[in-house]
Structure 1
Amino acid sequence: MRNGQLNNLKVLTFIRQELRNGATDSEKILWEQLKGSKLAGRKFRRQHSIGLFVLDFYCPSERLAIEVDGGIHDAPDVKIHDEERQKAIETLDIRVLRFQNADVLKNVSKVLSEIQQHFTTPNPLLKQEGA
């Protein structure tokens, strides 16, 4: 499958919309910090699908997925599913970072700092200023 065929498949449009509308408080807080290229000029998408997987947040330029997990993700069967899902996503050369809801709610600045530490491309804002 070509990359264009993997992103935001039409069959998942309704699911992505439902996930956006039903975002958790921690997802809403993190989205406020990521939208509009606020984090080091990187564009993030929310509830973006790659193949049949819907990612909480995705930064295309960094090939970086951000997942925000609630308590349900501590259940053994869900952990196994998450691990399998993550391995499948990583085979597409996409890195996955996971955070707990509580981490975002307690210290979103720390979460943002950790996300930034995983950026590997030059800051697009600096590139524009130097042009």
Structure 2
Amino acid sequence: MAHSNIDPRPRHRARTLRREMTKAERIMWDILRDFRPRGARFRREAPIGPYIADFVWLAARIVVEVDGHSHETDDGKIHDRRRDAWLTGEGFTVIRFDNDQVIDNPDHVAITLESRILPFLKPEAGS
């Protein structure tokens, strides 16, 4: 068994979430993988403390979240604020996109994301 300080329950839940990605999460994963040649190494559904991040680049301490409709409820907003505060306290930057943004305008999402992670990216080949 791998050595880990992550509780087995969130680790198991993360594994399930990786198998059951939403359409928006699959599109975001494709966007994030396009940054790999420039040094971005995102992981999907990664446990971080008591939470599971949709996507995380651990070396840069960047979390990317793709939010569905449950995040628009009062309870969802409260949970997100608490979660973001915890992650920020741990040194992470949290970047959020709505499912609809990702599905309807992936090019805009990619450009917005690139502008936010640019300080951590290697220059493009030929630049």
Same fold per superposition (TM over 0.5): yes
8 A contact 2:28–2:102 mirrored in 1? yes
1:123 correspondence with 2:122: yes
8 A contact 2:18–2:44 mirrored in 1? yes
1:75 correspondence with 2:78: no
1:32 correspondence with 2:34: no
TM-score (norm 2): 0.84
* Bigger mean CA offset, 63-72 vs 36-45: 36-45
8 A contact 1:73–1:79 mirrored in 2? yes
Identity within the alignment, %: 29
CA offsets per residue over residues 78-101 of structure 1, 9 Å max, x none? 110110010000001100011000
Match of 1:86 in 2: 84
Match of 2:58 in 1: 60
Q: Which runs of 4+ in 1 moved over 2 A?
A: 35-41
Length, aligned pairs only: 122
Q: Which runs of 5+ in 2 are unaligned?
A: none
8 A contact 1:41–1:124 mirrored in 2? no
Match of 1:108 in 2: 106
* Bigger mean CA offset, 27-36 vs 65-74: 27-36
Q: Which runs of 5+ in 1 are unaligned?
A: none
Whole-angstrom distance in 2 between the partners of 1:114 and 1:79: 22
